[in-house]
Amino acid sequence: MEALRVLTIVFLACISISQAVTPPSTNPQVQGLFVFGDSALDGGENTYIPGSKIVSAVPPYGKTYFSKPTGRWTDGRTIADFLAQALGLPLLPPFLEPGANFLSGVNFASAGAGLLDETNAHHGVISMNQQLRQFRNVTNEYRKEKGVEFTNHLLKNSVALFSMGANDIANALPSPYLFQQMIQAYSSAIQEIYSYGIKHIIILLVPPIGCTPNLRALSAQSRNTNLTPEGCTGIINILVDAYNTQLQNLAIKLHHDFRELNIATLNPSPVIMNVLRNPQKYGFKEAEKACCGGGPFNAAEFCGDADKHDWKPDHKNKYAKFVCDNPKDYLYFDSNHFTEAGYWFVMKNFWYGSYNIARPSSLNFFFAGFNVPNPPPRP
């Protein structure tokens, strides 16, 4: 009987040890992340562009996570930052940051940038074509400094993240020809990245920009009554949906043409619309007004400290400035961009979301062949 008791204890101990020790994954880890985009992903690129008129390197941007402005258009991290951390990578430096280490990837995203070269060109931004040129420079430096074998291995085990199109739609008269130009530019960019060896590509679709505090304020000012039940400018969201559908179709076509291409499109619109309809259900207290700004919907004044902006030193605020006490309570940080909490909520839905959010599959399945050390918790 005593012998049986000892054997039972040993058996249970073995079970405990086997459950406590997780064998190391045999899957490779993602080696690099390359980010192309606009202000949704900008990690501070515009800060280093002389004379750029679209910059956010002033307080209170960055206050939540970094405790200082970094050039990101939010109070903390973006989707690109959350993705890098999930993959076990450091936060990526912007391409123009002096002395930056690019061995784990680069963030080329530039606030205000578009797929078309002319989009916001007079404001000092870096378009998609210019970002691709920067990418070529980086890969050439890899080959020069580290060799061809290192470069090929890095790119083969890297991911490219894209977010483009919102500024093209906002700064031009949308038309079938405009969308045709945009989709062609996107197609060329993805094919070029693929030709360099990056086979894993993620496309962030355009969010419902008709629902931003900026558009709400403009609608109130113009007394626009043609709004959706959520208070959004419906015609803008219809255009966004039409563009997003074409982008989803492009991803399907490219996967058909290049069978080794692992490509996913991530649509924030269903996630954002759910929050707008019931903010409290998803952990937010305010989904219409910005956390930072002034005037109607806190969207009529620039969020940052205007007196620290050398490109508009004579600006006089029409409305009293406002900065919320807790950005986590808000979906939007400024008139057009989400809070870190908003981006984090969207990211978790991208990771585990259904087909209407992530196609052909969520990021959880997109990275099934990789060892992902820090996957986000379920929303």
Q: What is the pLDDT of residues 34-89, one digit of tens each?
A: 999 999 999 999 999 999 999 999 999 999 999 999 999 999 999 999 999 999 99
Reply yes or no on whether 305 is catalytic.
Answer: no
Instruction: Find how far residue 366's CA is from the centre of its chain.
Output: 17
Phi first, then psi: give them for residue 88, nearest 5 degrees.
80, 20
Residue 146 has pLDDT above 70, yes or no: yes
Looking at 9-18, 157-166, 191-200, 213-222, which range is the least confident one? 9-18
Reply yes or no on whether 334 is catalytic.
Answer: yes
Picking from 97, 113, 6, the residue whose alpha carbon sits closest to that of residue 54 is: 113
Reply yes or no on whether 337 is catalytic.
Answer: yes
Residue 157: per-residue pLDDT: 97
* Dihedral sign from CA coordinates of 163, 166, 168, 171: negative
The runs of H, that is alpha helices, within 258-338 are: 269-277
**Catalytic site residue from 75, 81, 168, 334:** 334
As given in the structure block, the two tokens for residue 4 are: 């049986």
**Catalytic site residue from 42, 219, 337, 362:** 337
pLDDT tens, position by position, 171-226: 988 889 999 999 999 999 999 999 999 999 999 999 999 999 999 999 988 888 78
The 3-state DSSP class for residue 166 equals helix
**Catalytic site residue from 39, 56, 219, 362:** 39
Residue 68 to residue 66: CA distance in whole angstroms: 5
Place of tokens 């989400």: 338
> Torsion angle of alpha carbons 297, 299, 304, 307, nearest 10°?
-110
Residue 294 has pLDDT above 90, yes or no: yes
Question: Residue 247 burial (CB < 10 Å; 0-12/13-18/19+)?
Answer: buried
What structural domains and CATH numbers belong to the chain? Answer: 32-280+337-367 (3.40.50.1110)
Picking from 215, 177, 36, the residue whose alpha carbon sits closest to that of residue 115 is: 36
